[in-house]
Structure 1
Amino acid sequence: MLINIDKRISPQLLFILAQMGHGDEIAVVDANFPAVSTAAHCITKEPIDMMGVDAPKCIELITKLMPLDTFTEFGILRMEIDGAPNELGDVHKDVVTVLDHVSGDAGQGSIERQIFYKRSKAAFAVVQVSEIRPFGCFLLRKGVIF
């Protein structure tokens, strides 16, 4: 048994986070995202299921264990809203609030939806949450521990 690990972090997710190295990315995706077909292209070939957890809570849980990259322009990228790339949806705002408390100096950015789909295929793993708010998908880039 381990202590101080949130019970919503599965052993599989804990192992994946430990395996990832600096610069590896993990996709946290909403309930509508094609997680199975995307994960088939990743290092981890099946999505990690975190149903019952929304995107902000999942990102909070992950970033308590995994530092975000501060050596690149963006340690986290959000999926842009179609036709409104500078607009933040409620899910994006909630994630910004989480990151303000845990991410340190990691930059936050956005990418267009179709580019997000392609980039997610190169991720280390895909974590699917029960987020149903539109465009609730994020890429987290692992940083280093000082």
Structure 2
Amino acid sequence: MLKKISPVINPELIKVLMEMGHTDEIVICDGNMPACSLGKRVVRLDGHGVPEILKAVLEYLPLDPTTEQPAALCAWDGPKADIWDVYKDIILQSEEAPKFKNGFRMLPPAEFNEAVKNAYCLVTTSEKALAANIILKKGLL
């Protein structure tokens, strides 16, 4: 057991975060995302929601300061997801807040799905909120 590592972060996810390089992207997925069909690498974190995983990941993952908007959401046709405000609050309360000054990149569904397919890793959760997937672009220390 190690100190100061959130219990929601498993060894596989720590390994993935350490393997990722500058500009690699990680997707934290809601329970509806067909992650195993789309992803090159999938880390399962069943029983957890996206907000708690996002908060834990931001303890270790620097966001890309060279990208105007290092976090992306899917601009789907449904109503705005309430959970997006939760994500914004989590990011703004993290040490990565200065890199989030321009808010989220809102990608059309087709573009979002392509980004998901090209992501370094997809992290599956049991999140029930709709349109609750978030893409994070890794930065430099």
TM-align CA RMSD: 1.3
Check if 1:37 corresponds to 2:37.
yes
1:76–1:141 Cα contact (<8 Å) kept = yes
Q: Which runs of 5+ in 1 are unaligned?
A: none
Check if 1:105 corresponds to 2:98.
yes
Give the Cα–Cα distance (whole angstroms) in 2 for the partners of residues 83 and 136 of structure 1: 12
Match of 1:53 in 2: 48
Check if 1:73 corresponds to 2:68.
yes
Q: Which runs of 5+ in 2 are unaligned?
A: none
Q: Specify the SS of the correspondent of 1:99.
A: helix
- What amino acid sits opposite 1:74 in the alignment? Q
Match of 1:13 in 2: 13
Q: Specify the SS of the correspondent of 1:105.
A: helix
Give the percent of matched residue pairs that are identical in Structure 1 and Structure 2: 27
Give the Cα–Cα distance (whole angstroms) in 1 for the partners of residues 62 and 52 of structure 2: 16
- TM-score normalised by the chain length of structure 1: 0.88
Give the Cα–Cα distance (whole angstroms) in 1 for the partners of residues 98 and 25 of structure 2: 17
Runs of 4+ that moved beyond 4 A: none
Give the Cα–Cα distance (whole angstroms) in 2 for the partners of residues 89 and 56 of structure 1: 13
Give the Cα–Cα distance (whole angstroms) in 2 for the partners of residues 56 and 93 of structure 1: 10
Q: Specify the SS of the correspondent of 2:87.
A: helix
- What amino acid sits opposite 2:120 in the alignment? F
Give the Cα–Cα distance (whole angstroms) in 2 for the partners of residues 22 and 126 of structure 1: 17
- TM-score normalised by the chain length of structure 2: 0.91
1:76–1:106 Cα contact (<8 Å) kept = no
Give the Cα–Cα distance (whole angstroms) in 1 for the partners of residues 37 and 14 of structure 2: 22
Give the Cα–Cα distance (whole angstroms) in 2 for the partners of residues 82 and 48 of structure 1: 28
Number of matched residues? Answer: 137
